[in-house]
Copies of this chain bind each other. A is one copy, B any other.
Amino acid sequence: MLSLTDLLRRIEAGTLTREGAIRRSQEAIAERDGPLGAIVCSDPTPAIPTRGPLSGIAVGIKDIIDTADLPTRMGSPIYAGWRPRADAAIVARLKALGAVPLAKTATTAFAGLDPAPTANPHAAGHTPGGSSSGSAAAVAAGMLPLALGTQTGGSVIRPAAFCGVCAIKPSFRLLPMVGIKTFSWALDTLGLFGAGVADIAHGLSVIADRPEIDRPGGDRGAPRIGLCLQDFAGEADGDAVAALVRAARAAERAGATIVDLTLPEPFAAAWAVHGLIQDVEARQALAWEYAAHRHLLPDVLGRQLDRAQALRVADYDDARRTARRARRRLKDVFGEFDAILTLSAVGRAPASDTTGDARFNRLWTLMGVPCVSLPVPGDGLPLAVQVVARFGDDGGALAVARMIEATLRA
């Protein structure tokens, strides 16, 4: 994989030019993307800024994010050939930092559940996960050092887990959503994929203009970590649980205190209403597509929106109250714990007729708290764990993830 921090170090040291760094991505895409289908389109002659803290870094942009210089297809024929007038706020920000938005990456249609035409770089017949399929696969295949995804259920953490890369779904609205196709405004969260925890920590801290996010950890003493199986969400596969236990032991070896954590009500209730909030908002966000082009929507999304038409506004209001209660309660939980260590996904990447299951991601998306997924090394298709911290403590989640990553690799 291409490491963002490694590339920046080499550019800084003068052993790699900015053009050379971008060229590596271009060559890797040309060589490897054919069978993968991670890239929708890319800029053949990108402008390469000569300054800025991310200059020389090629970035993959999930294809529901507006770009003025490249088409934005939303993974749907309804947007065939569509070219937005403006860059999304995050794309303009990347350019201002010197980064090169080199390629649009494959997304499921409108970031829904119907699979994108992207293969898992670790095994062709398996899904890379969704909906940020191309961004996760492109980083995993060493084509890009940084890629953008969005998560409404589990669309950043799940593909990161399935593809064996790191990712962060930051605190809600830490990164700007302007110019990104909406699925659910209360849930949609912009996130980053990278090779290692240091890469996404550095990328996020620069993009969000918050230096405190990128710290190696240890400045707050040994963390107290709640180990959480999310029983209310159902069972995980045995090897996913085993990976979680290995990550917990790694954290303990690194000095953390691990305590079993069973989340009380109202978290099960909040988890259960995620879909209702999402779907009431999706039926509004995609109302034009549904009214004008229902026949062009893919199967799962089309049926999801069919069902959503019957949902009641009063139930949506109740669901939001349930979510607010859980958010307040979660503050108490994070009074006792610095971080929660939990499952990133049900197990390894399933076959590619699905994008996998977001059951272990939904609660955290609804809570708006930062989540970091990191691979747990082992045989076979990738497995991963997820570190969750309190709202606004993205740096804390990354520090704990970095500690576990270092110990697992040692």
Q: What are the nearest 8 A-B pairs in CB distance?
A: A92-B287, A87-B288, A86-B288, A92-B288, A176-B284, A89-B284, A178-B182, A178-B285
Determine the residue in chain B with the shortest Cβ distance to A79: B85
Give the docked Cα–Cα distance between A177 and B284 (Å): 10
Q: Kindly state whether residue A93 has any CB partner on chain B within 8 Å.
A: yes
Give the docked Cα–Cα distance between A86 and B66 (Å): 14
Give the docked Cα–Cα distance between A161 and B185 (Å): 31
What residues make up the interface of A, taking CB atoms closer than 8 Å to B? Answer: 68, 78-79, 82, 85-89, 91-93, 95-96, 173, 176-179, 182, 185, 208-210, 281, 284-285, 287-289, 291-292, 313, 317, 392
Give the chain B neighbours of A392 by CB distance below 8 A: 317
| Shortest beta-carbon distance from A316 to chain B in Å | 10
Give the chain B neighbours of A289 by CB distance below 8 A: 86
| Shortest beta-carbon distance from A112 to chain B in Å | 15
| Shortest beta-carbon distance from A289 to chain B in Å | 7
Q: A82-B85, A208-B313 are in contact. Are A291 and B96 (CB under 8 A)?
A: yes
Determine the residue in chain B with the shortest Cβ distance to A209: B313
Listed by A's residue number, 24 A-B pairs whose Cβ atoms lie within 8 Å are A68-B288, A68-B292, A78-B85, A79-B85, A82-B85, A86-B288, A86-B289, A87-B288, A89-B285, A89-B288, A92-B284, A92-B287, A92-B288, A92-B291, A93-B284, A95-B291, A96-B287, A96-B291, A176-B185, A176-B281, A176-B284, A208-B313, A209-B313, A210-B313
Give the chain B neighbours of A96 by CB distance below 8 A: 287, 291
Give the docked Cα–Cα distance between A313 and B213 (Å): 13
Is A93 within 8 A of B177, CB to CB? no
Give the chain B neighbours of A291 by CB distance below 8 A: 92, 95-96
Give the docked Cα–Cα distance between A219 and B179 (Å): 43
Residue from A82, A95, A285 whose CB has the most chain B CB atoms within 10 Å:
A285
| Shortest beta-carbon distance from A111 to chain B in Å | 13
Give the docked Cα–Cα distance between A89 and B87 (Å): 21
Please name 6 further chain A to chain B contacts, defined as beta carbons within 8 Å, in addition to the given A68-B292, A178-B182, A178-B285, sorted by A numbering.
A68-B288, A82-B85, A89-B284, A96-B287, A96-B291, A173-B185
Determine the residue in chain B with the shortest Cβ distance to A81: B85
Give the chain B neighbours of A210 by CB distance below 8 A: 313
Give the docked Cα–Cα distance between A209 and B87 (Å): 34
Is B85 within 8 A of A284, CB to CB? no
Is B87 within 8 A of A287, CB to CB? yes
Give the docked Cα–Cα distance between A278 and B253 (Å): 46
Residue from A78, A86, A176, A317 whose CB has the most chain B CB atoms within 10 Å:
A86
Give the docked Cα–Cα distance between A291 and B284 (Å): 31
| Shortest beta-carbon distance from A98 to chain B in Å | 13
| Shortest beta-carbon distance from A209 to chain B in Å | 5
Give the docked Cα–Cα distance between A82 and B313 (Å): 34
